[in-house]
Amino acid sequence: MASTDIPQLSSLRSPRVVAARKLARRAQRGKDRRFLAEGPQAVREAVAFGTLPGGEHAVVEVYLTPEAAERHPELVRAAREADLPVLTATDEVIADICDTVTPQGIVALCRFLDTPFEEVLRRRPKLVAVLANVRDPGNAGTVLRTADAAGAEAVVLTDASVDLYNPKAVRASVGSLFHLPVAVGVPIEQVTARLREAGVRLLAADGAGERDLDQELDEGTLGAPTAWIFGNEAWGLPEQTRALADEVVRVPIHGHAESLNLATAAAVCLYASARAQRSPAGCRAAGTER
């Protein structure tokens, strides 16, 4: 489909451009309940997401340069088949509304799509990633992507964590934001209490944990429905949050590294649970008694 058939945005003063640019601010995103998803992978997943519970599509509009339209005709076709407005824009316009230094020429204006926490509970998840007081948007997005890859059924961001729709968080999720339910703004005390009531075991990931991940795997305890609680990379989980968990678990360091970063530790923990939940023995070591 020729990109010349698509309307053109060329003025930085265009109401559409001005409105999109304002979404760089968290307050404006919250007011409009809209955010931007940059890059072909994120836009592809946003278009494929479909409609929200209220019947509206997750995507409001798609903007892309003529060059991007030529490179990604399948995206243009998918968006038009979903009856979404697709508008070409100049490189200057795309650069003005995008958060990246070198944008990839395509961005989708999207509606908020977080899931109410009670809906997450109704789905009876077996594997959940809880981000407690995680402030770095890149870490939050990367953990979300990791949870998606590990087959987690939900991610929860507590009220003290970064904005889910921060451009860096959206970009770091690489489209996974559109794959699994994410609840936001829930106090950690409510998260832990309600998950425990739902029969989910709560494990706080912390380098100072009394138990280590190898013990959990050897004893077969990771096969149960589990929520992993991850904290701020700089200072970890506070004592009051660790006290809310059933166990505090450390990832064993077998070499000389001082620690693992948040995203790596989350990947190790989530994949350990994913494997255990798919194993009849819960990955229990041979000869180990439960």
Q: Helix, strand, or coil here: 261?
A: coil
Q: Tokens at residue 61, please?
A: 């509009």
pLDDT of 34-44, one tens digit each?
A: 999 999 999 99
CA-to-CA separations, 48 to 112, 155, 189, 283, in angstroms, rounded: 15, 20, 35, 35
Q: In the chain, where are the structural domains located?
A: 3-111, 117-277
Global confidence as pTM: 0.90
Q: How far apart are CA 150 and CA 130, in angstroms?
A: 14
Helices (DSSP H) in 56-162: which residue ranges?
66-71, 73-81, 91-97, 117-122, 137-150
pLDDT for res 281? 59
* DSSP, residue by residue, 18-33: HHHHHTTSHHHHHHHT
- Give helix 137-150 / helix 262-277 axis angle, nearest 10°: 20
Specify the CATH number of the domain 3-111: 3.30.1330.30
CA angle, corner 8, sides to 7 and 10, nearest 5? 160
Q: What percent of the chain has pLDDT over 90?
A: 83
Local confidence band at 6 (pLDDT 50, 70, 90 cut-offs): low
pLDDT of 205-228, one tens digit each?
A: 998 888 999 999 999 999 999 999
Local confidence band at 233 (pLDDT 50, 70, 90 cut-offs): confident
Q: Of the candidates 35, 9, 44, which has an alpha carbon nearest to the alpha carbon of residue 111? A: 35
Q: How far apart are CA 79 and CA 81, in angstroms?
A: 5
pLDDT of 85-97, one tens digit each?
A: 999 999 999 999 9
CATH architecture of the domain with range 117-277: 3-Layer(aba) Sandwich (3.40)
What does the DSSP 8-state code read for residue 177? G
